[in-house]
Amino acid sequence: MVRTVLRYGAWALGGLLALVILMAAVLTLRLYGSLPQTEGTMRLAGLEANVQIIRDEHAVPHIFANGDHDLYYALGVAHAQDRLWQMEITRRAIRGRLSEVIGEAALETDIWYRTMGLGPAADTAVSNLPADVQAALRAYADGVNAVIEAPGFIPPPEYQILMFSPEAWSPGDTVTVFKAIALDLFGNAFSEPRLNSLLEHLGDERAEEFMGRYPDETPRSLTMADIGLEPATAPAEEPLPAMGVNEDARGGSNNWVLSGSLTASGHPILANDPHLALRAPAIWYLARLTTPEGSVVGVTLPGTPFVTLGRNDRIAWGFTNTGPDVGDLQAITRDEIVDRRQETIRVRFGNDVTITRQATDRGPVLDPEHFDYQVPDGADYLALQWMLDEPDDATTGVGMRILRGAGWDDFVSALEGFVAPQQSMVFASVDGDIGLYAPARIPVRDENGAWVDTVPFEELPHTRNPERGFVATANNKIVPDDYPHFLTSDWYGVSRITRIYEGIEARDDHTMQSMAELQYDTVSTVARAVLPTLIEARPETEAGRIALSLMADWDADMVMDAPQPLIFSAWMRELAPAFYDDELGELAPDWIGYRQQFMQDILTGDLQDWCDNIDTSEIETCDALMGPALDRAMAGLSETQGVRIADWRWGDVHYARHAHTPFSSFPVLDDFFTIETPIPGDGSTVNVAHHRWTEPGYSVFHGASYRALYDLGDLNASQYMITTGQSGNVMSRHYDDLAPLWGRGEYIEIRADWTPETAPDGVRLLELQPAEE
């Protein structure tokens, strides 16, 4: 009897195990089945002629089409094959529809985006676009939908895990992607209450010291002669006292362009590395687009049909965020509300939620039930005035206009009417021209802060062929102090632009190699400035004294294979709150961060009085704080890194974490979908790599999302790199194959000097053919 029971039990267990194995095999086959077709033939409705998509060894598509319609259609196909989930999550976020698939965890995000109203604004914007731009968006959407509707289509793993199917793509969805990137680079409106609290607590002068001055000796990218305006007799009126630097913006991006007078080849070189949140898959998607009229090469935003940053056969261009103040929170009464409507948010596995969306004629109303703020006396709400829901018939089409440009005049013409986000756009041409233009709709305010006008396009920051032979920006102050219009008080820290100017001005025979070295430079000008002071510290522990001897020999280079960058970072993390926590009091948790200029001015300048603890009767000095801070830092590091200090390495703890939405927040799935890459640098270096001061550890969440170097003497020798890989499908080897190269500062070429008939060995050719009627 017992044997019979055991035998049947074994059969049952074996059957269950076999069923589990069978289900795992079926699931695995289905997940692998979601990988796209990249060879052979696809017949698709809506094409006008045959198109070739040829993927190179890095899965970069080289698209060959006979005209613009099929070109945009084919890019829609490539994006849908490689990045459909990324497109899905972006449009759902902007439209406030994440809760439909993720559940209550996304409800707060959905309420925020529904309040902003960017989804309806995107749909409205489509009908206002020029006919050729609308046609491009329609062709692109048709290409995306052709993939989704193809027989046998299996959606990417995220859809399968969350058990829902993709909806058709629309031109309005494309505009939501542009709105998403604009929102990511949006100005300071939501930080205004926090800044006002700081001003009230510290006073204007003390708050300006804390936020960080913009040093007189630090470069401004342009002069008044560049812009062609008369100097202002008085500074432009600012809505809040000038802060000079706002390092809490966590901004980042570098670009520069050199004329032939500063290069060994005698031709311009343009460099660009926009810094954004690190994600899996990468924000950008590399592509080459070729028609009989020529080629465009660079990065595209999945969900959009144009090359955003790149080069054509005549010009190259690159962007950094200017960071203008184009948003204000304004106190209003109920009488100022002009629109009120209810919207229902569907919540998966939960109860649907209905909100009331209200708006004034200036922008959305922030319901205090969902937004944390104090209503000012005499007001009922705060409302947001910003540029992202302004009428906009140009921004979406800028990429289309630029890629057709042949010179400076075409480039500038393409930018007129651009609304947001303001970008400092550098330019170079094969004819030898270089320049910069920073287009956007920038508000002009009256003495009460009301928006009364916008800065004329011709008075926006710009220059062409400056006498110094280069233009460089790094989210620094790009205009001179006597520029007549207020742009922002949120210029980012000055460390990167300082180091970039040093690198450019060091020689007049630059090459692509010297530009690559500068783009990946990891010397911290902050560390270099404060080290002479720091090494005078008097630690009391043996570990502190060992650390001090190591720091004395350090060159301030935040390399991966040395302990000094880790010691410096931990030391600064301990030292910063010792300087300012007592002054900030209960506000201190809101202002945790790497305050580069402030720290530098305390340790090397005139702000040593911040070292005194206002809560004690004694007068504390900076010298008294530095040693104990180092001892605390070393004690913490010894617990996590071990006692052998010589074995510590910055790269062991300082790694880029490319987070996946939403699976980086899911146990088990996190290990599959998150990509981690050791990298050098920190928040002050040209190769920027921000870690969060509000969390333990040093994982990097913000860095160079794209690196590119364009050689205007030989455009096919230009260099490119994105953060993770071309594919957004975790089952693909191209999901993360570029991450190690990116981490090491390497590049790839995307040449445009071959055709389908002369393609290199090892490529994969997919031919798209019109479906038979």
pLDDT band of residue 18 (cuts 50, 70, 90) is very low
pLDDT band of residue 388 (cuts 50, 70, 90) is confident
For 733-736, the CB contacts below 8 A with 24+ separation are 734/58, 734/59, 735/280, 735/281, 735/675, 736/280, 736/675
User: Residue 237 pLDDT more than 80?
Assistant: no
User: Residue 22 pLDDT more than 50?
Assistant: no
Residue 650 CA to residue 691 CA, distance in Å, equals 12
Residue 133 CA to residue 299 CA, distance in Å, equals 19
Residue 386 CA to residue 118 CA, distance in Å, equals 11
Of residues 252 and 305, more confidence is placed in 305
Of residues 495 and 185, more confidence is placed in 495
CA nearest neighbour of 36 among 74, 90, 78, 76: 78
pLDDT at position 245, please? 52
In this prediction, residues 665-694 reach a mean pLDDT of 96
- The position carrying tokens 């592509």 is 287
pLDDT tens-digit map of 723-752: 999 999 999 999 999 999 999 999 999 999
pLDDT at position 2, please? 54
pLDDT at position 23, please? 45
What's 659's DSSP letter? B
pLDDT at position 20, please? 44
Q: What is the mean pLDDT of the chain?
A: 91
CA dihedral 638, 642, 647, 651 (to 10 degrees): -80
pLDDT band of residue 242 (cuts 50, 70, 90) is very low
Number of C-alpha atoms within 13 angstroms, CB side, residue 386?
Answer: 28
Lowest mean per-residue pLDDT among 139-153, 242-256, 281-295, 388-402? 242-256
In this prediction, residues 745-768 reach a mean pLDDT of 97
pLDDT at position 87, please? 97
Residues 6+ apart with CB under 8 A from 13: none
pLDDT at position 559, please? 98
pLDDT at position 741, please? 98
Query: pTM value?
Result: 0.94
pLDDT at position 3, please? 55
E strands within 278-352? 285-291, 294-300, 307-311, 315-321, 327-332, 339-345
Quote the tokens at residue 470: 């280069």
pLDDT at position 4, please? 56
Lowest mean per-residue pLDDT among 5-19, 155-169, 421-435, 538-552? 5-19
In this prediction, residues 516-534 reach a mean pLDDT of 97
pLDDT at position 66, please? 97
Residue 505 CA to residue 508 CA, distance in Å, equals 7
User: Residue 600 pLDDT more than 90?
Assistant: yes
User: Residue 234 pLDDT more than 70?
Assistant: no
Residues 6+ apart with CB under 8 A from 132: 397, 400
pLDDT at position 449, please? 81
User: Residue 248 pLDDT more than 60?
Assistant: no
Residues 6+ apart with CB under 8 A from 471: 221, 222, 256, 257, 426, 434, 435, 436, 463
In this prediction, residues 673-696 reach a mean pLDDT of 95
pLDDT at position 497, please? 97
pLDDT band of residue 327 (cuts 50, 70, 90) is confident
Instruction: Sort 586 into a burial class: Cβ within 10 Å, 0-12 / 13-18 / 19+.
Output: exposed
pLDDT at position 112, please? 93
Of residues 542 and 372, more confidence is placed in 542
pLDDT tens-digit map of 566-583: 999 999 999 999 999 999
User: Residue 769 pLDDT more than 90?
Assistant: yes
User: Do strands 451-454 and 61-64 pair parallel, antiparallel, or not at all (unpaired)?
Assistant: unpaired
User: In terms of DSSP H, where are the helices of 185-306?
Assistant: 192-202, 204-211, 224-227
Q: SS3 of 253, please?
A: strand
Q: What percent of the chain has pLDDT over 70?
A: 93
pLDDT band of residue 187 (cuts 50, 70, 90) is low
List phi, psi (to 5°) of 264: -65, -30
CA nearest neighbour of 357 among 344, 373, 372, 346: 344
